[in-house]
Structure 1
Amino acid sequence: MNSEGWLEDTRASYDTVATSYADQVRNLLDQTPYERGALTLFAELVKSGGGGPVADVGCGPGRITAFLSELGVDTFGIDLSPAMIEVARREHPSLRFEIGSMTDLSLADDSMAGLVAWYSLIHVPDDEIGSVFAHFRRVLRPGGPLLLGFHVGSESRLKTQGYGGHPMKVHVHRRRPGQVAAWLSDAGFTVEARTTLSSAESTLGGILFARRRSDPQ
């Protein structure tokens, strides 16, 4: 599975399901108090560090972007799918959303006060994760917090249908928290906290907090 192939498949799949996906997840945070707590803690970490812009990378229809904005965070969303960005702009017209890829973030070095990737790494192949985390580190300020949400496990599967029965072609990767933490450490992050939980977000989900180190080593 080459980089170009999986990116194109992911973009096309989420363009196809954008509206149905948004309908399915719109009120999901109402059912997930522990996830709300993690996002609230992340918002507090950003504000206690002096505030500044926060990127919600892989924002989909913008529900996490909007929640963080309600908590007083200067947040904006980035997503690979133009159709998802269209939905996000329609549902949250006061917020900023732009098309982009986590594999090549069009953000200045050291420009972000924080970064969130909420279940948006699940389609990234293992051999691309290091490059993605390198981009995360590049755009974060030293000491800036990173919050990840992901599916926990050790297997990958091809998803061919979802969100209203629409066709999709994406691999869903489940990963062990220890492996994700090791990748982050290699990329120049210090992992501060991690946990697993079961909720409406994921049968078994992982939440991980990290900070960008000044020295990548």
Structure 2
Amino acid sequence: MSVEALPVADDRTWGPAVLTRYHDALSRGLPLRISDETGATLSFDVGRWLRSSDADDETVLARCTGPTLDIGCGPGRLVRALLVRGVPALGVDVSEAAVGIARRNGASALRRSVFDELPGEGRWTSALLVDGNIGIGGNAPRLLSRVRDLLAPGGHVLVEVESGSAYVHFTAIVRGPDGEAVGSFPWIRIGAVPLTALAEPLGFTLTETWSSDHRHFVGLRRW
């Protein structure tokens, strides 16, 4: 699929009904139930996001040695962990509920889209796209281009990816408590190889890949 055929990348494609379901999942610590167009069930592990950073997260946090922007920060566990380490960090998220939780837990967070004007543009040492957030907007090239502009020259983005070489565009359909569809948004799932192939023409160099337990990550440095 060509870049031109993809949706305009924007995390504001989460409409009110989707954000309401996300808020409900946050308040109860339950997975956000979604499915793709084929009916296959997917899940965002909201409960894990509400807990403190775990051993897998620590492999990402250890690579953040300067000011770090967490894109799609959710309840802010990674921002909070970085601040405890003494690393300047800021989270951004479109969910008012998630940002509220992050702030109450001591994380610095803004309710804002990654495509809005943000503090420190062009000066961030690190950016995070974890917990599936490379899927924001369903358009990885446009998202990576935006992240490149947020980073300082030589800065890097740490991305959580799928295992293998998957690169799948789909519409995530959000389900209510009784299984009814309440909203949808464009999303992607992508592995390390196709992500690197997309990123290199946009001004990134692959620096490393690593795995921790069942999670997989890629480091990309801005030229």
TM-score in same-fold range (> 0.5): yes
Q: Is residue 130 of structure 1 aligned with residue 133 of structure 2? A: no
Aligned twin of 1:195: 210
Q: Which amino acid aligns with 1:10?
A: W
- Alignment correspondent of 1:78: 92
User: Could you list the runs of 5+ residues in structure 2 that have no partner in the other structure?
Assistant: 1-5, 30-46
Residue 34 of structure 2 is matched in structure 1 by: none
Separation (CA, whole Å) in 1 of partners of 2:177 and 2:212: 26
In terms of fraction of residues, the more helix-rich structure is 1
Alpha-carbon distance in structure 1 between the residues aligned to 2:86 and 2:151 = 19
- Please report how far the alpha carbon of residue 7 of structure 1 lies from its aligned counterpart in structure 2 after TM superposition: 4.1
Match of 1:10 among 9, 14, 22: 14
| TM-score (normalised: structure 2) | 0.72
Distance of 2:116 and 2:154 partners within structure 1:
21
Ranges in structure 1 where 5+ consecutive residues have no aligned partner: 200-204
Counterpart of 1:202 in structure 2 is none
Question: How far apart, in 1, do the equivalents of 2:176 and 2:195 lie?
Answer: 27
Find the aligned partners of 2:176 and 2:209 in 1 and give their Cα distance.
Answer: 29
Distance 2:161 2:175 in 1: 18
Query: What pairs with 1:162-201 in structure 2 (closer than 5 Å)?
Result: 167-196=182-211, 199=214
CA deviation profile, 1:84-132 (whole Å, cap 9, x unmatched): 2122222x2x332102222344234422121111121224223xx2222
SS of 1:3 mapped into structure 2:
coil
**TM-score for both structures, normalised by structure 1:** 0.74
1:150 partner letter: V
Structure 1 counterpart SS, 2:81: helix
- Deviation of 1:144 after TM superposition, in Å, equals 1.4
Q: Is the 8 A contact 1:109 1:140 kept in 2?
A: yes
What's the secondary structure of 1:42's corresponding residue?
coil
What number of residue pairs does the alignment pair up?
193
If each structure's strand is expressed as a fraction of its own residues, which one has the higher value?
2
- After the TM superposition, which residues 2-81 of structure 1 pair with which residues of structure 2 at under 5 Å, given as runs? 2-3=7-8, 7-12=11-16, 13-21=18-26, 23=29, 24-25=47-48, 26-27=50-51, 29-30=53-54, 33=55, 35-43=56-64, 46=65, 51=66, 53-81=67-95
Q: Does the 8 Å contact 1:159/1:171 carry over to 2? A: yes
For 2:152, what is the secondary structure of its paired residue? coil
Instruction: Tell me the distance in 2 between the aligned counterparts of 1:145 and 1:183.
Output: 15
Pairwise CA RMSD? 2.8
Give matches, 1:96-135, under 5 Å: 96-118=108-130, 119-126=132-139, 129-135=140-146
What is the identity, as a one-letter code, of the residue corresponding to 1:57?
I
Structure 1 residue 56: deviation in Å? 0.6
Inter-CA distance 123–40: structure 2 relative to 1 (3 Å threshold): closer
